Amino acid sequence: MDFDFAPEQQAFAEQVEVFLDENDDPEVFDLTRENMAQIVDTPKRRAFMAKMGEQGFLGMTWPKEYGGSEGEGVYEYLLNEALAGRGGPQIGKGVGIIGKTLIAHGNDFLKEKFLPMILRNEVEFAVGYSEPNAGSDAASMRLKAERSEQDGVTGWLLNGQKTWTTSAHFAEWYWLGTRTDPNDKHRGITLMLIPLDQPGVTIRPIWTMGDERTNEVFIEDVFVPDDYVVGEVGKGFQYISQALDLERFTMFTFSPINQRLELLSEYVRTETRDGEPLREDPVTRQRIAQLATQAEVARCLGLRVVAASVKAEKVEGAPPPTVESSQYKLFATEYSRRLADASMDLAAPGTQLRVKTETAPMAGRAESTYRYTVIDTIGGGASEIQKNVIARRGLGLPKNF
């Protein structure tokens, strides 16, 4: 495997950095929000993403017939890593999960309505998979969809509840997993799109330990015309599974994790304890060496996902990087949590001061990452789910192993 980027890819990365320099704004870029910095939740962040659309940075891997440039996935990887490295919003749900699924499976109506808006960043989506009794196990969702008709229009009547929907309080449209067949766990799920501002949709906040808002959403007698059904009825779980490969990789970028390692390393390099340089303590040196080694493992696992994605794009019938994505997601998020633990341990009691406290070690960054990184091991499928994917699909172990 070649870990070096081609000259044209390096040139693109430099182009992105120039664009980010020209649009630098503390209200758009905030590293202290950790992984939640990627969401497009303010007017300034939306305006910035619209500028990205004008640059042609959105939909780079889409077919040309839908406004894309048919570029390789490595360009999206380089773009997202650059954005994450500055704590900026990233291409994700719209371009990736929603856009690519609509291109592959959506009807003409949905493509014509949503794809141009996604490329111009004129619409924000929330993703509704998790439910109170169906967290990482998407196949267990129960939000009921029953055949119905209103004013001569055929469709579905929805009733149920979703939870942990991060973007529901600012998004316009809901990408919703529904239960259309209660008798078939995996083939009884259907994807639909509904506007979040319609009657029957109630959104209530849930505040996380990372000081970020997510939501529970209640759906009561909401009618969805057939035109807003994504793909075939009953194939929603298949579409969700395909999109999760993308989500697990793009949601958890490596550059912010590596920055936190550099921040901790710099602290250890310059601080003293009991009058002695901290960098000379053998236990501290060993721990930093382990963290540096593991960071390189995380980086290489991420590049394996990129390589597998490029291969899948070029070779007809090549499988998506399901196992590689789960391996990266599992290792990177668990490593990020270990790094946060080490930052708290090595910098001692001062790390309990809140983030952005200038007198705190590392300006309080350790405290915020300690809280945020717990969330990362759950989002996009908890670590236990990733282990199951690796065991069954990667190692061929039986389901009940």
> What confidence tens digit (pLDDT) does each residue in 294-319 have?
999 999 999 999 888 877 777 766 67
Average pLDDT over residues 36-59: 94
Structure confidence at residue 241 (pLDDT): 84
Structure confidence at residue 329 (pLDDT): 93
305 Cβ contact partners less than 8 Å away, ≥ 6 residues apart:
249, 321, 324, 325, 328
In the block, tokens 């910098």 appear at 347
Q: Are residues 11 and 63 in the same domain?
A: yes
Paired tokens of 106: 């959506």
**Using 50, 70 and 90 to split pLDDT, how confident is the model at 252?**
confident
Domain end point (choices 66, 91, 116) = 91
Q: How far is 4 from 9, CA to CA, in rounded Å?
A: 10
**Using 50, 70 and 90 to split pLDDT, how confident is the model at 286?**
very high
pLDDT of residue 401 exceeding 60, the answer is no
Min mean pLDDT across 30-34, 95-99, 126-130, 246-250 is at 246-250
Amino acid (one-letter) located at 100: K
In the block, tokens 């499928």 appear at 381
Q: Are residues 277 and 373 in the same domain?
A: yes
Q: Are residues 263 and 196 in the same domain?
A: no
pTM (two decimals): 0.90
How many degrees, rounded to 5, is the angle at CA 256 between CA 248 and CA 297? 65
Average pLDDT over residues 353-358: 91
Min mean pLDDT across 101-105, 271-275, 306-310 is at 306-310
Q: How far is 397 from 401, CA to CA, in rounded Å?
A: 6
Residue 104, domain member (yes or no) = no
CA dist 315 → 62, 218, 250, 305 (Å): 17, 43, 22, 15
Average pLDDT over residues 68-87: 92
Overall domain count for the chain:
3
Domain harbouring 226, CATH code? 2.40.110.10
Average pLDDT over residues 72-99: 92
pLDDT of residue 220 exceeding 90, the answer is yes
Q: How far is 43 from 51, CA to CA, in rounded Å?
A: 13
372 Cβ contact partners less than 8 Å away, ≥ 6 residues apart:
34, 35, 36, 210, 340
Structure confidence at residue 93 (pLDDT): 87
How many degrees, rounded to 5, is the angle at CA 15 between CA 9 and CA 21? 140
Structure confidence at residue 4 (pLDDT): 81
Give the domain extent around 23: 7-91
Q: Are residues 151 and 273 in the same domain?
A: no
Do the beta carbons of residue 255 and residue 84 sit within 8 Å?
A: yes
Residue 207, domain member (yes or no) = yes
Q: Distance between alpha carbon 52 and the CA centroid of its chain, in Å?
A: 18
Do the beta carbons of residue 30 and residue 86 sit within 8 Å?
A: no
